[in-house]
Structure 1
Amino acid sequence: MSITLQKSKVAKQSSIQITGSKSESNRLLLLQALYPSIVLNNISNSDDSQLMTKALASSSDVIDIHHAGTAMRFLTAFLAVQEGKEVVITGSKRMKERPMQILVEALQDLGADISYVENDGFPPLKIVGKKLNKKKVSLKANVSSQYISALLLIASKLENGLELTLEGEITSVPYINMTLSLLDQIGVESSFTENVITVKPKVDALKSTNLTVESDWSSASYYFSIAAISDIGTQITLSSYKENSLQGDSVLVDIYKQFGVVSTFKDNTITLKKVEAHKNTLSLDLKNAPDIAQTITVTCFALGMPCDLIGLHTLKIKETDRLVALKTEIEKLGGSVNITEKSLHLSASTAIKNMVSIATYNDHRMAMAFAPLALKTNIIIEAAGVVSKSYPTFWDDLKSIGFEITK
C-alpha cells in the first residue's frame, strides 16, 4: 500500500505517546523467558517484539521470524541453551541473506549444536539445545553489537558464566552497555574492562522484579527531524523518556542542537523546540548510533545542508543496504549523495522534486525517515505498512500533529 503525504505544516504545539523501545523490549523479553519472575511494562508494540514474544512461547519445531534481525540473533543464542529442544529458525528471503556466521561460530566454540540448513553462514539454522559449560570465547567486535548482546543475554545461564573477548574496534558500545545494565537490573553481575566482558552465572533464584521499558529513541528521531524542518517556535512533546537513557540513539539530543532544536526533560517527557536556524554543515561519526543515519541524512537534505557521516559500516547488513537505498532515493528527489562501504556524503541541494515515489525496500526506517519531507513537498511512500516492524501507529501519529496523508 502506497500513501501520499501532501505538503503539510505541523501544529505549533503537539504531543505524542511513543511505545516502548524495541531494543530494550527484545532484550527483556528474552531475559523474562530465562527468568519468568520478571514482570514487564510498556513493552514495544512493534512487529519485531510481537514476533519475539510469539517465538519465545512457541512449541513448534520451526520458528519463522520474518524480517526481525534482532530476534534472529537473540533467539539463536537462546535456543542454543534450551536443553533437549530441537528447532529450525528461519526468516524472510532478506533474512536468509543476512550473515550469522560470527555468532554461530562463537556459540559453537562454547559447545552449541548449530548447523546450517541451506547456505553456510546464513539462516535458516538447525539448533539442538544443550547445556553449555565452556566459558571463554572471542568475537569480532566491528560487525554487529547484536551478536555480542545475544551472547551476554544467555551468559548468566551458562554453567560457568562467560568471558567474552572482543577483537578489533567495538561497534555500537551503547547497545552493549544497555544489555549489561539490564542484566544488572535483574541481579546478574558483569564487568566490561577494555576489550573483555565477563558475566557471572546466576545460581540463586531471581525474585519477582518489575521493569518498565523506556519509549523508543529511534522512533523519536522522526520527530526531531520534523522539529528541525519546521518553523522556529514549533514544539513537540514526546512520552516517556529519561534524560539518563540506556539507548544509544538518545544522542539525538546533542546532534539536533546543530539543527536548532533544543530538548527539555520534565516528568518523563521530552519537549523538542525549534529555536534557531540550522548550522551550515554537519559532520558526525555514527558508529554508536547507526540506526539514526537515515533520519539525519533526510533532515539535512530537507534543509539543503551538506553532511558527512562516517561509522556506517553496519548499515549494509540491515533490512536492506541502507547506504545504497539512501543514495538511490535522495537522488530521485534531486539530491547528490556519495557513499563508501562505511560513509555517506550529501552535497548541498536547493530544490526538492515534487511527488516523487520513495521505495522502502522492506525497511521501516526508510519509510519513516523520508516522511518529514512532506513539510517541504508532496511525497509518496511505497509499501507504507512496513512501519509496523517498529512503530505501527506512525502514520496515525503524524496525522495527529498536522500531516495530511491519503491512501
Structure 2
Amino acid sequence: METGAGRIVVHPANGRVSGSVRIPGSKSITNRAIALAVSSTGTSLITNPLFSDDTERGLDAAQALGCKVLIRDDEIEITGIGRQRPVPQATINVGSAGTIARFLPCVLAFGESGEWHLTSSAQMAKRPIDGLGAALNQLGDPLEYSENPGRYPITVRGGRIRSSIAHVDGSVSSQYLSGLLLAAPMNATPMRITTDGTVVQSEYVRMTIDCMRRFGARVGASDDLSRIDVEPVEYRATKFDVEADASTATYFAALPAVAGGAIELTNLARASRQPDIQFVEILTAFGCTADWTGDFGVRIRRPQGLTRLRGGHHFNLNACSDVALTVAALSAFADAPVEISGVEHIRHHECDRIDAMTAVLRAVGACVQERPDGWLIEPGTVRWAEVQTRDDHRMAMASALIGIGGRGISLDHPACVAKTCPTFFELLSELGLSSDRTAAGH
C-alpha cells in the first residue's frame, strides 16, 4: 500500500451534520466471496463488492492462480478453478490484507499439488499467523515459514493434506478458523474442525459458514463452534450480493454523535450477521436515537438537548472489536467515564491499536488509563492535535471523528484508509465536512 508521507487536516464540523451515505460493500464478505468463487467450478458474479487495497489483493491472487477475472463498475466476475491448480508455482504478495493472508494458504493447501511463495507488506509480516500454521500442519505439512516462525513470508504446498481432523485456536483470530472452513469442502473426505469453544469475534465464523452455504457447502456446527463438520461437496458458482460494510458504517453513524444533527445510512442491513452492526445499539447508549427504515437503512440522530454524550458505560467489545476505536473516540465527548474491555487481540492488528488510541486520546486532552484489554477513558475538553495513525485505516477514520467533533486534527498517512474505504474523505466532503491534504499545521 502506497500511503506516502503527507498529512491531512480534518476540520471541525461547521454546525450540525445532515445528509445520507451509501456505505461501501463489506470487506470481510467481499474477500470471502472472492475465495469461494476461486474455489468453485464455473463463473460467479459478485455484485456490490468493495474495491479497496485488501480486496484488490484477493483479486490479484485469483488471477495469479489462473482464474479469469472481469471487473465492471459495481460487480466482479470470477471463473473459478476448484481444486485444480493451472498455475502450480507462483509468488503472490498479500500486502497488508489480513483476511487474504489467512484464507489463501488454506485454499492452496487443500487443492492439487503445487508450491506457492506468499509474501506480504512489512506491516503484515509483524502479525502472527502461528495459529493458522499449527492448524494446517496438523493435517499434513503444507505450510513452511520462510524467515521468521509464525510470520510471513511463507511457502504453501498443495496435495499434502493427509488428515481430516484439526483443532484450531480461536482465541487470537477468528480468521484462522474461517480460512480452514473455506477450504474444507475441497478435502477428499469429511472434515471435522474443533475449537475450545472460545472463538474471538465468533460471528465472523458464522458469517463464513453462511457464505459457504451460498456456494453449496454442507456445514454443521455446534452453537459454541466447538465442533464443525464439513462435507466434501464441490462449490458451485453463484451470484453473490455483498451487503454494506458494518465496520465502515460506524464512522459515518458516529458523525451525529460527535457533531450533532442526523445521518441516514441508506443500505445498512438491520439483520446483518456482521458483529459491528451492534454499534447502532452502542450509539443509543450514548444518547442518540436510531430509527430503521425497514430491512435496510437507518437514521441516526443526536437530540438537540444532548450537550455531551451519555457516559458511565462499560462496553465489552470482544465480539465486535473493530468498533473499539470508534467507541473510544466517542468516549472523549461523554459526560462521564467510559470503560472498554475485551479487545486485547487488537494489539496484534495493523498496529497495537490499544496503545495507538491511548496516544491519540491523550494528545487531544482525554485522561486515559490503558489496560491490557482496553481503556478507561475520562472525557475532557477536546483540543487540536497532530497525531499518528500508524498507517492503520481504522486509527485514521476513528481519529478523524475526534477532529470533526472537537477542534480539528492532523493525521499522517491519510491514504491508509484505502485498505477498507478509499473514498472516506470524499464521502465526508459530500456531507460538508472538509479536510485539507496540504495544510501542515493548525
Would the aligned equivalents of 2:12 and 2:406 in 1 still touch at CA under 8 Å?
yes
Q: 1:54 to 1:325 in 2, by over 3 A?
A: same
Match status 1:18 vs 2:23: yes
Q: 1:344 to 1:11 in 2, by over 3 A?
A: closer
Query: What residue in structure 2 maps to residue 113 of structure 1?
Result: 142
Query: What residue in structure 1 maps to residue 231 of structure 2?
Result: 201
Would the aligned equivalents of 1:86 and 1:129 in 2 still touch at CA under 8 Å?
yes
Counterpart CA distance in 2 for 1:33 and 1:82 is 11
Pick the aligned partner of 2:288 from 251, 255, 261. Answer: 261
Structure 1 range deviating more: 187-196 or 243-252: 187-196
Q: Quote the sequence identity (%).
A: 26
Counterpart CA distance in 2 for 1:202 and 1:10 is 58
Pick the aligned partner of 1:395 from 425, 436, 442. Answer: 425
CA displacement at 1:240 relative to structure 2: 1.8
Query: What residue in structure 1 maps to residue 364 of structure 2?
Result: 333
Query: What residue in structure 2 maps to residue 250 of structure 1?
Result: 277
Q: Which amino acid aligns with 1:53?
A: L
Q: Please give the per-residue CA displacement for 1:214-266, whole angstroms capped at 9, x wherever unaligned.
A: 010111101122121122xx221123221110101001121111122222333
Query: What residue in structure 1 maps to residue 195 of structure 2?
Result: 166
Counterpart CA distance in 2 for 1:47 and 1:123 is 18
Would the aligned equivalents of 1:223 and 1:236 in 2 still touch at CA under 8 Å?
yes
Query: What residue in structure 1 maps to residue 262 of structure 2?
Result: 235
Counterpart CA distance in 2 for 1:85 and 1:72 is 18
Would the aligned equivalents of 2:16 and 2:256 in 1 still touch at CA under 8 Å?
no
Counterpart CA distance in 2 for 1:308 and 1:216 is 26
Q: Please give the per-residue CA displacement for 1:40-75, whole angstroms capped at 9, x wherever unaligned.
A: 111111210111111122147211122111111111
Counterpart CA distance in 2 for 1:200 and 1:155 is 6
Q: Please give the per-residue CA displacement for 1:307-360, whole angstroms capped at 9, x wherever unaligned.
A: 1111102111100000110111111112221222212111232x1222x11211
Counterpart CA distance in 1 for 2:21 and 2:52 is 16
- SS of 1:238 mapped into structure 2: strand
Query: What residue in structure 1 maps to residue 299 of structure 2?
Result: 271
Match status 1:39 vs 2:69: no
Query: What residue in structure 1 maps to residue 54 of structure 2?
Result: 48
Q: 1:235 to 1:115 in 2, by over 3 A?
A: same
Counterpart CA distance in 1 for 2:138 and 2:110 is 13
CA displacement at 1:11 relative to structure 2: 5.6
CA displacement at 1:211 relative to structure 2: 1.4
Query: What residue in structure 2 maps to residue 381 of structure 1?
Result: 411
Aligned residues: 402
- SS of 2:244 mapped into structure 1: coil
Query: What residue in structure 2 maps to residue 283 of structure 1?
Result: 314
CA displacement at 1:158 relative to structure 2: 1.2
Match status 1:299 vs 2:330: yes
Structure 1 range deviating more: 192-201 or 33-42: 192-201
Would the aligned equivalents of 1:175 and 1:247 in 2 still touch at CA under 8 Å?
yes
Query: What residue in structure 1 maps to residue 63 of structure 2?
Result: 57
Would the aligned equivalents of 2:311 and 2:335 in 1 still touch at CA under 8 Å?
no
RMSD: 1.8
CA displacement at 1:304 relative to structure 2: 4.9
Match status 1:224 vs 2:257: no
Match status 1:406 vs 2:426: no
Pick the aligned partner of 2:388 from 359, 365, 377. Answer: 359
Counterpart CA distance in 2 for 1:368 and 1:343 is 19
Would the aligned equivalents of 1:112 and 1:130 in 2 still touch at CA under 8 Å?
no
CA displacement at 1:139 relative to structure 2: 1.6
Counterpart CA distance in 1 for 2:28 and 2:389 is 21
- SS of 1:167 mapped into structure 2: coil
Query: What residue in structure 2 maps to residue 98 of structure 1?
Result: 127
- With normalisation by structure 1, the TM-score equals 0.94
Counterpart CA distance in 2 for 1:3 and 1:285 is 32
Would the aligned equivalents of 1:140 and 1:168 in 2 still touch at CA under 8 Å?
no
CA displacement at 1:81 relative to structure 2: 2.0
Counterpart CA distance in 1 for 2:11 and 2:359 is 22
Would the aligned equivalents of 1:188 and 1:199 in 2 still touch at CA under 8 Å?
no
Counterpart CA distance in 2 for 1:50 and 1:205 is 22
- SS of 1:240 mapped into structure 2: strand
Structure 1 range deviating more: 326-335 or 382-391: 326-335
Would the aligned equivalents of 2:244 and 2:268 in 1 still touch at CA under 8 Å?
yes
- With normalisation by structure 2, the TM-score equals 0.87
CA displacement at 1:205 relative to structure 2: 6.1
Counterpart CA distance in 1 for 2:246 and 2:155 is 34
Pick the aligned partner of 1:128 from 157, 160, 169. Answer: 157
CA displacement at 1:146 relative to structure 2: 0.6
